[in-house]
Every structure is written in C-alpha cells, then in structure tokens.
Structure 1
C-alpha cells in the first residue's frame, strides 16, 4: 500500500485546475463540491479525499488516484502516492501551475475586455502573452 504525499500549491479555482490538468494530458478530470474518496492501485478505498481527482484508470495499471484537496485557506494541495511521485513530481506540478496561470490569464482578459494579440513560447518554455484591449 503506497503512502500518499501532500504538496501545497497556490491554486484556488477548481475549474481552472481541472482545465490545467486537461492541458497537461488528462482528458478525464472529476470536480466535486465535496471531497470524494481516493483509491489505491488495487482499487481499495483510501482515507484520503479530494475535490479534484484524476482516477487511476487514466494514469496506468499500477497507479493510484491523483487528488487535489481544498485546504482551509482556499488553496489546493496535491495528494499523490509515493509510487506516482516518480512521475508526478515538482516539475510536473510546475507544468500544471503554468497551464493554470495561462487559463486564469485568458479568463481575466476575456472578462475585462482584452484579447490575446500574440502568444509566444520561448526556447526555455516561457510563455509570453500580449493582450490588447478591445475597443
């Protein structure tokens, strides 16, 4: 039975987090108002619960569910098994955070009368957006 690790994030919006996970390669992401049970690789119910979940069926046979649980300060913490931390590590969480920031920026821009004028990815992976106010 794998031990689950909790990793704090600065992510706050469940919908944006689900979109970011989708952009990171997970087509099926569950979003719940109340925390739901996470399951281990044998299909066993674990005591860990989360509101945003990628089920193990979308990760691989030996994987456990990936979860994101809302904390008391409103941010999400990632709940990742020790086994899965080999693949879903700090670098992976950084990628998810980048997708989240991109989606949040686009949502803000649309809500505040901006459109994306240019979108460019640098060789180091940096994404540069230029926004222009709609007239």
Structure 2
C-alpha cells in the first residue's frame, strides 16, 4: 500500500510550476482546468485523500515518474496555491531535497516571467557566494 499525502506549497503560477517540473526531468506534464483522477502504480484509482477519488490539476503520470511509481499531482486550492500530492512510496524520490530543487527552478521561472512583464531583458545567471543571481537589463533606462 502506498497512500497519498498532501503537502502545502507556495506555488501559485501553474505555467511556471509545469516548466519547473519539466526542468526537473519530467518531459510530459498534464494540465487540467478541472482536477483529474490520480492512479497508483497498478493503474487503479486512489481514494486516500478524497473518498470520491484523489485528483489534481497538474499531473506527472506514473510511467513518466518511472519504476513502480504512482502519479505525482498538484491540486489547485481555494487560496490559489497548489498542494503537492505525493505517494508514500514515491516520497523517497520526491523528498525535501527534490522539493527544494523544484522550488528553486519555480522561483527562477516566476522571476523571468515577472521581469518580462515589466519590460526587462534577461542577461544571464551567475552564482555569487553560493547563491544564484539573475541579471536583467531595463532597455528603457539611459
């Protein structure tokens, strides 16, 4: 048995979350306006978190996660954040370190998107004192 557990996140931008998941190596990520059923490694529907079926809006299917994995999901909550839905079995892969990398990638995607909306041009990325710094140029500045 590998029941699902929900984990609160700060992710709010679905498109940036999808891009961050792809950067983590998941080539196929499903996006659903209406939350869709998650499946266990046998392909059976699950009902660990919801008696009507565990569902998510952003899904990495088990065959993409790899091995004898279950689906990985992110469900949009009423406050606009996405709640991660990870099976107990897959929590060794999708652990705190993995989520740290996902968050780092997500934040970069959000920063790029925000900068572009504000007319900034991305110049590059460098590491200063062990921290990533994104560099942008404002073409409107003199």
The normalised TM-score by structure 1 is 0.93
CA deviation vs aligned residue, 1:49-80 (integer Å, no higher than 9, x gap)? 00000000111231000000111211011000
List gaps (5 residues or longer) in structure 1: none
Distance in 2 between the 1:52 and 1:95 partners? 18
Distance in 1 between the 2:122 and 2:85 partners? 34
**2:134 corresponds to which of 84, 104, 129:** 129
Q: CA deviation at 1:115?
A: 1.1
RMSD of equivalent CA atoms: 1.3
**1:86 corresponds to which of 60, 85, 92:** 92
Distance 1:7 1:130, change over 3 A: same
Q: Which residue of structure 2 lines up, in the alignment, with residue 75 of structure 1?
A: 81
Misfit runs of 4+, over 3 Å: 121-124
Q: What is the DSSP-based 3-state SS (H/G/I as helix, E as strand, rest coil) of the residue aligned with 1:119?
A: strand
Distance in 2 between the 1:121 and 1:38 partners? 38
How many aligned residue pairs are there? 134
Q: CA deviation at 1:118?
A: 2.9
1:99-110 map, 5 Å: 99-110=105-116
Distance in 2 between the 1:24 and 1:122 partners? 23
CA deviation vs aligned residue, 1:84-119 (integer Å, no higher than 9, x gap)? 000101111111111111111111111111112231
Q: CA deviation at 1:122?
A: 5.0
Q: Which has the higher strand share?
A: 1
Matched, 1:16 2:31: no
Distance in 2 between the 1:123 and 1:45 partners? 47
**Higher Cα radius of gyration:** 2
Q: Which residue of structure 2 lines up, in the alignment, with residue 41 of structure 1?
A: 41
Q: What is the DSSP-based 3-state SS (H/G/I as helix, E as strand, rest coil) of the residue aligned with 1:62?
A: coil
Distance in 2 between the 1:73 and 1:32 partners? 18
